[in-house]
Amino acid sequence: MNTSSLQELVTMKMPYGKYKGTILCYLPEPYLVWYHSKGFPEGKLGMLLHTMYEIKLNGLEYLLTPLKKSQFKPS
């Protein structure tokens, strides 16, 4: 896991489905659990969703807090 992947969790939006347009770090845990049971998509999106699942499962959301705050700094 690298910091650019964590940065993508707070910037990338879900491209399709029920939560289309939702930033990945704000996806509800039950949605990620559903993906875990059905299988994550291939590629980068699947890797990011799996990472977000693991973060939420292990109570590590606090790791994303500084990255979330950095997204909203005034220019």
Does residue 68 fall inside a structural domain? no
Position 39 in a domain = yes
Residue 21 inside a domain? The answer is yes
Residue 37, classified by CB atoms within 10 Å of its CB into exposed (0-12), middle (13-18) or buried (19+), is exposed
Kindly report, residue by residue over 4-59, the tens digit of the pLDDT. Answer: 888 999 999 999 999 999 999 999 999 999 999 999 999 999 999 999 999 999 99
Of 58, 63, 7, nearest to 32 by C-alpha is 58
| Predicted pLDDT at 68 | 83
What is the value of pTM for the model shown?
Answer: 0.86
In a domain, 72, yes or no: no
pLDDT in the model for residue 2: 67
Q: Is residue 14 part of a domain?
A: yes
CB 14 within 8 A of CB 22: yes
Question: Per-residue confidence at 69, pLDDT binned at 50, 70, 90?
Answer: confident
Residue-range definition of the domain harbouring residue 11:
3-62
Our count of domains for the chain comes to 1
Asked if the structure places residue 71 within a domain, the reply is: no
Q: What is the pLDDT of residue 73?
A: 53
Residue 37 resides in a domain: yes
- Cα 28 to chain center, whole Å? 10
